Amino acid sequence: MGGTAVIPDEAWVLRGGKRVAAIVDGAAQPVWSVVRNLIAVEGEYRQSGLCVTAGIADSPEALAIHAATLSPELMVTTVGELRAIHLDVVPEPGKPSPAALLLIPDEPTADTWSTLDSVLGLRPRVKNPKIADTKQVEK
Amino acid sequence: MKSDQLTFIVDLNDVRDDGCLVIAMDFTQTYGPCRTIIPSNPPQPGDRVDLYSDADDVALVGTVQAQLSALEYTVRPDLDTYYCVSLSVTTPGWRATTWGSHSQLPALFTTDRFTLPSKFELLNV
């Protein structure tokens, strides 16, 4: 269950979608879906973060069955890879594992978004089994 | 009834335990984010509304469940209406393959910029 336990570096992290940022006027900015999530998390928990799914599993696909998102595809990384770029992942307060928050600095820069988007794009995305069962999404 | 004038930007990671999302009047494709609008035909429970996630490049239709406040509603996305939007940054448009209630193939969505289309209009081509 959710709590204060530290999520280990080897835990998989899944974030629904294909991107968290886009280049606008030459600089990386969060896409508006992400802005919405930041506002929602700030309002709920009084901290800056994004909703993710994070936990130990044999594979990202195995963890994906627990992802509480309607996104057709899920971006994949690990907690360790995020910590390597100075971003942490913590259990989402009051929610059962593997619900988690990817903590974002209070004043993220274009570099923050660019780096995060790159890390989330390093690994192949996995299909969301909730959506794959009902619809095959064309790329 | 379907509200054709608004396309709400949603984060599909924000789905609640009941399978619904919260939509807000200050995040629409047509009028831009963080700009409160009062449309002439605000959504009502039971209305069908267009939803769009720019993080996923997908758009779909949802049904308004309830009004939370003057500007916020809960909406239940209809997964049978998922249609994918493929973006080309070199052309001023979106090509979309559609399913379900939007199955008029192919369809073109016009847009002015990458993350914030100022116009999200289905055109028969």
pLDDT in tens, A51-84: 999 999 999 999 999 999 999 999 999 999 999 9
| B 73-112: CB under 8 A from A | 77, 79-80, 82, 84, 86, 97, 99
Give dist(CA B32, CA B39) in Å, integer: 13
- Kindly report the backbone phi and psi dihedral angles of residue A69, in degrees, each rounded to the nearest multiple of 5, phi listed first: -145, 155
Measured between beta carbons, the chain A residues lying within 8 angstroms of B57 are: 18
Judged by a CB distance cut-off of 8 A, whether residue A132 touches chain B is no
CB A12 within 8 A of CB A65: no
The shortest CB-CB distance from B9 to any of A36, A72, A135 is to A36
CB A96 within 8 A of CB A42: no
Q: Which of A14-28, A101-115, B31-45 is most confident?
A: A101-115
Is the residue at A136 inside a domain?
Answer: no
Measured between beta carbons, the chain B residues lying within 8 angstroms of A33 are: 9-13, 53-56
State residue B83's pLDDT score. 66
Give dist(CA B65, CA B22) in Å, integer: 10
CB A79 within 8 A of CB A7: yes
Measured between beta carbons, the chain B residues lying within 8 angstroms of A52 are: 13
Is the residue at A48 inside a domain?
Answer: yes
Is the residue at A139 inside a domain?
Answer: no
Is the residue at A107 inside a domain?
Answer: yes
pLDDT of A117 above 90: yes
pLDDT of B88 above 50: no
Give dist(CA A30, CA A102) in Å, integer: 14
Distance of CA B2 to the CA centre of its chain: 12
Q: How many CB pairs under 8 A join A and B?
A: 100
Which chain A residue has its CA at the smallest distance from B59's CA? A71
Is the residue at A4 inside a domain?
Answer: no
Helix (H) or strand (E) holding A79: helix A79-83
**Cβ–Cβ of A17/B82 closer than 8 Å?**
no
- Kindly report the backbone phi and psi dihedral angles of residue A40, in degrees, each rounded to the nearest multiple of 5, phi listed first: -65, -45
The structural domain count of chain A equals 1
**What is the domain extent for residue A79?**
12-126
- Nearest C-alpha of chain B: how many angstroms from A134? 7
**Cβ–Cβ of B80/A40 closer than 8 Å?**
no
Is the residue at A109 inside a domain?
Answer: yes
Is the residue at A74 inside a domain?
Answer: yes
Is the residue at A51 inside a domain?
Answer: yes
Q: Count Cβ neighbours within 10 Å for each residue of A39-67 and write b for 16 or more, e otherwise.
A: bbbeeeeeebbbbbbbbebeebeebbebb
Measured between beta carbons, the chain A residues lying within 8 angstroms of B80 are: 134-135
pLDDT band (50, 70, 90) for residue B123? very low
**Cβ–Cβ of B55/A34 closer than 8 Å?**
yes
CB B73 within 8 A of CB B67: yes
**Cβ–Cβ of A70/B114 closer than 8 Å?**
no
Give dist(CA B88, CA A68) in Å, integer: 29
Amino acid at A113: W
